[in-house]
């Protein structure tokens, strides 16, 4: 999961913060900051991305909308219909999960062949529990093989992008000094989304990692050590 920086609340012309009492109005500003990608599954969606409330505006069991949560810029991310509906209105305790706007979520999850997502093998037991809770909350472990009628195509989408990333990496071998080709790969990556898959497949190519970090809007630069091959490092103020 790509660690992102949402930034400060956008301002009105008179320099006051915009009040998102009608929260879907935040969608454009969020896309400007974070790109047209689901904040959880990282799929690219040109339509269908919704403003996601990290802490649900009306948690299961609540009788009224919590207006502070509903309109709070710092409570917003972007989500695709699958992540949105899986997460639903489940009440969340922030510290029980990893979040792309607070933590270095790239350290928490491990992407592998076919786009399978698991808690990173190097995590401590406590960290694994949190990573696993994050995967379950958003349904990133769902696979159509377990449910042939599934409309949830996120896993298939990740598998396809994994294969495309592998293919482009293979083509880069023997052509690795070709800057134009490197930029073409970045264009393919931003066109498909799934930043974490590109970062994983190209993990031994620091130049490509730098390009992916720069090209996907809103990626948290401080989560990667630019003096050490863009190795993922702990996020300041985050849990990982
Ligand atoms: Zn999603």
pLDDT digits (tens, 9 = 90+) for 62-94: 999 999 999 999 999 999 999 999 999 999 999
Rounded distance, CA 162 to CA 160, Å?
5
Find the 221 Cα to ligand 1 centroid distance in Å: 22
* For range 16-28, the mean pLDDT: 95
Q: Give whole-number Cα distances, 198 to 39, 59, 136, 204, 221, in Å.
A: 16, 35, 23, 11, 16
pLDDT-derived band at 174 (thresholds 50, 70, 90) equals: confident
Find the 192 Cα to ligand 1 centroid distance in Å: 13
Find the 115 Cα to ligand 1 centroid distance in Å: 14
Find the 37 Cα to ligand 1 centroid distance in Å: 8
Find the 75 Cα to ligand 1 centroid distance in Å: 17
Indicate whether 8 pLDDT > 80: yes
* For range 213-237, the mean pLDDT: 98
Find the 36 Cα to ligand 1 centroid distance in Å: 11
Triad 107, 134, 97: Cα angle to 5°: 80
Indicate whether 225 pLDDT > 60: yes
pLDDT at 146: 62
Find the 213 Cα to ligand 1 centroid distance in Å: 19
Find the 147 Cα to ligand 1 centroid distance in Å: 18
* For range 111-133, the mean pLDDT: 95
Find the 45 Cα to ligand 1 centroid distance in Å: 9
Find the 78 Cα to ligand 1 centroid distance in Å: 8
Find the 42 Cα to ligand 1 centroid distance in Å: 6
Tokens of 110: 């491990």
Rounded to the nearest integer, the mean pLDDT of the chain is: 95
């Amino acid at each position: 999961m790509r660690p992102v920086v949402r930034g400060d609340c956008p301002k009105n012309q008179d320099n006051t913060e915009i009040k998102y009492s009608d929260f879907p109005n935040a969608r454009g500003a969020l896309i400007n900051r974070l790109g047209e990608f689901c904040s959880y599954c990282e799929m690219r969606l040109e339509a269908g991305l919704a403003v996601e409330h990290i802490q649900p505006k009306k948690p299961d069991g609540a009788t009224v909308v919590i207006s502070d949560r509903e309109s709070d810029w710092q409570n917003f991310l972007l989500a695709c219909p699958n992540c949105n509906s899986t997460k639903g209105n489940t009440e969340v305790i922030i510290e029980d999960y990893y979040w792309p706007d607070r933590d270095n979520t790239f350290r928490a999850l491990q992407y592998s062949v076919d786009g399978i997502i698991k808690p990173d093998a190097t995590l401590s037991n406590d960290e694994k529990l949190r990573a696993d809770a994050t995967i379950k909350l958003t349904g990133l472990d769902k696979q159509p093989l377990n449910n042939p009628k599934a409309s949830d195509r996120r896993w298939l989408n990740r598998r396809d992008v994994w294969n495309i990333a592998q293919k482009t990496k293979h083509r880069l071998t023997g052509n690795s000094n070709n800057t134009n080709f490197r930029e073409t790969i970045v264009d393919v990556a931003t066109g498909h989304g799934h930043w974490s898959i590109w970062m994983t497949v190209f993990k031994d190519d620091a130049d490509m990692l730098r390009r992916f970090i720069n090209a996907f809007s809103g990626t948290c630069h401080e989560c990667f050590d630019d003096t050490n091959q863009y190795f993922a490092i702990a996020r300041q103020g985050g849990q990982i």
